[in-house]
A = this chain, B = another copy of it.
């Protein structure tokens, strides 16, 4: 019933880019990271994340490289490129602007009892 699944739509790429801005990550790790950071309120699924990563790579926003974990298990890390940083900046601005506008409309008339 929670429309989180739906709200998520459109901000997934932004979230992925934001994660990569803090350091190289591999797919499985990003899912866990987002789950933790969002207090489990939203969880990016594998079927969503991997296609996004492939698209970002194809667009030159990220670069992928393989690296073995200490365990020996192979992992595919992603690194944010200059192009990706630009994309992140754009999407971040768009999100801030959009979310503030929606919040303003939604809380209009109501007591401004939100602390942000």
Binding site for B on A (CB under 8 A): 2-4, 6-11, 13-15, 18-19, 21-22, 34, 37-39, 41-42, 91-92, 94-109, 114, 116
Contacts and interface: CB of A to CB of B under 8 A. Distances in A.
Contact of A96 (B2, B15, B98, B114): B114
Number of copies of this kind of chain in the complex: 2
Among A4, A7, A41, A104: residue with most chain B CB under 10 A: A7
Interface of A is mostly: helix
A41 B97 CA distance: 9
Contacts of A103: 95-96, 99
Contacts of A21: 109
Contacts of A38: 101, 105
